[in-house]
Structure 1
Amino acid sequence: YFSGLQANWTFCPLGSQSFRVTINNSDSLNFHLISNASTFLPLQFPLALISDNSISIKIFIFYDYMSTGSVTLINQNSLLSRFNTTFRTDSSYPSASSGIFQRQMLFDISRNTTNMNQLSIGLMTYCQATYYGQQCSVRCISNDDCTSSYTCDTITGTKICSPGWYGVECAFRNKSYIQPICSSNTLTCYNDGFCHAFNNTNQPTCCCPFGFTGLNCQYLSTCSINVTCLNGGLCNPSYDPLSRSYYYVCSCAIGYTGLFCQETQQCPPMFYGPNCTIPCHAPNSCSEGHFSCNSEGGKICLPGWSPISTCLIKNLSSYLDPECPVSTGCLNGGSCFNGTCCCPSTYTGHLCETPINPCAINPCQHNGLCFPTSTGYQCQCSAYYTCPLCEITLNP
């Protein structure tokens, strides 16, 4: 407070500012013509929201230093003039550079009319950065990321959605819209991620939905057993040096595959079992059998064929089988199949009429003797040898 003034008159709840200048005695003074005026003018005050859009402005001018003849008075703090006015903030400008000062002529009515000082001032209110509207009541911060994309109207502050975005907050994306830079780029975004070039740059990036991460949204960013990783899959943490991000991989239980272990494992052709390691070939032929393979790789004889170990013998008598090449059926235990006869291992020919001597090629080793049987042959081994073909030497 200054001497000679009442406290309530100098009270400024919205703030106060001051500056000092050295001037010569003159009838008039233009503060803006002072050499360093730009360092303190215009005086600026940050204003809070005012309920009635009206502010009271008080201006005090003091003598702090005065020289008269050979006498110099310092720090006199003597009031020269005081001015006050009321200014309404009904309409504010978007920025300081876009506004126009409203000029007012103020009179110091505390002095008599013959010695009344006058002060010409210019007043203006404008919105701080990110605020818009006549009363600066609308806030808008332009944004361009994976959640929304918009700019702000320079007058009203209304959000202006970028191409491909819509909604009040420009947070909804038209999936059919593709930025030109993305349409000409080979970047692939997985798991419902989308390509976006931020702030009109030429660097497309994958925007990943919640739960995914990585340069191509190919990794899991969160993981929970039986929630993220299904069917008993386990969450294994890992790190991607390219995207510099941690992620998770579902380690699937046997029989399951996929990002979430959601798919039943599909084995390559002719392989079966939990780990696809059991081979099973179903040829449906006379030489290899007539069967299909179950999910575990086991044989399932086709209807009418047996035994389960080979599926080589047809249960229907050949003379009753319409598949036989002749009405009399196949000979020597042969089975009818697609107009031909499937012969036992000891017979051959169109109707299995020709016997085969399995010992003709002498399959028994180390001078073993070969004897034909109904199912093939049997070896009688010489001394010191054993096994079906006499191929193993006995210990003496």
Structure 2
Amino acid sequence: MFPENKAIYLVTILLQVLFCICYGVSVNINNLDDVHEGSDTRMTCAYTRDSSTSSSDPIVTWNKIIDGVADKISATQSGSTIIEPSYQDRFGVDRDDDRILVITNTLRIDSGTYQCEVVIFDDPPADDDTVTLNVILQNDCINHACSNGGICTPSSSSMGYTCSCASCFFGQFCETPSNACSNNLCQNQAACVPVSGSCTEYACVCSSCYTGIFCESRMNACFNNLCQNGTVCVLDSGSCTAYTCTCPSCFTGQFCEIALHGCSANFFCQNGGTCNTVAGSCTAYTCTCSSCFTGSFCEIGMNACFNNLCQNGAVCVLETGSCTAYTCTCPSCFTGKFCEIATNACDANVCQNGAACVQTSSCTAYRCTCSSCFSGTFCKSVLNACSRHVCQNGATCNQHYCTEYTCTCPTYYNGTFCETYLGPTSDDSTSLAIVFVFVGTVIGIILILLTFCLIRKMIMPSPLQVTEPVHDYQTVIPASIGETNRDSNHVYDEIPIQDRKNTVVYANRIYKTET
């Protein structure tokens, strides 16, 4: 801890080395709260000699003791000072006394031990020569008298410090509060009133007939008058606040705010009609009628059916509770809001498959004109040409279109409808004759052989009986065109008989039968 104001540490060192006498003393800065961190700290190295004949100036050196080693801060002789680069940012020597080391804006890192060395160059001193060396740690802001938030700053003044006052205070020790009205600019006998919470702001309370921030302007009642509609403002005699509005024609009221018009007096609008003034006149008016009334004075009750739009003999019917709405009751065969649309039975027809709808004698009756290939009342049925064909003699009907077909004729028939019987040809008769002759011959031979075998058997029986194969020849004609009668034991030969009008007839003939 430091002493309350000045700490004096006295160390007397007598060192005699040749012609140089060196003296040194140290001081500790241990508690920066006592020296006000952030303010200047001053250390004075004072020395006195009891007897000396030396006229040379001593060298005053300041060191900071770091880990027991002296680290030089500055060296001064005869007003010439050298500050080491590492200490130049905040360390210096008082310009008026080079024995005083100054630490500007002291920080906590500046705490530690500081040493003052004084080197005196002289002849060998007398035996009774004594040097006294004092180090004084000085910070006059420790017990400063700054008040009202003033900040103490060490200085070279007689007090050793000065006070920097907070806003709203002044004086050597910031003891005097400021008064915003002390130098106010209020005029024309206005009263100055400080603004609450501020020592610099104030307001001027003006006397009558003056206005402005500083009450610098004389009032004119007509300056911001409330007269309307082109009225002339006239100041009242002897007053700076009262005035009168002189109204033009068609206006009245204190500020001429009331327009005189035809509706302001008696008017004749009836049945709740609204009166409307006419521009440029204060006597003429018009009536805006309420619903259900018309006429210059709304005297005529309205009838919605009076000019109705119903058409085609429709009956107009007023809607209940309204004088403007109506409905049209349409006669038959007409529809629409105003019965303006003639109804058409075909509008809702059910004709199908592209059939055309044709309205008949009534607006509700129609018929369907079917397209080809369809029939029925609504053209729903598909036509089949073979459903009513006239093919004959078992011919087959083949449909090519919904109205067209052909007949496939059986054997020996021809014609569009297979109506013509052809019968066998001469070539066919010859062939049959040959076949019959051949078959007869074969049968005869077989019968002879059978007779021979029976006779032989009867004459000379044998233990082994042999059954001869039976040969049969027949002609098969298919039941219809395109049908072929085949089985695994017959060989067929198909011979074209006739080809006429898409009809081809085949005859199937058996030449051989194998058992």
TM surpasses 0.5: no
Considering Cα pairs closer than 8 Å and 6+ residues apart, tell me whether 1 or 2 has the greater RCO: 2
Q: TM-score, normalised by structure 1?
A: 0.19
The structure in which a higher percent of residues are helix is: 2
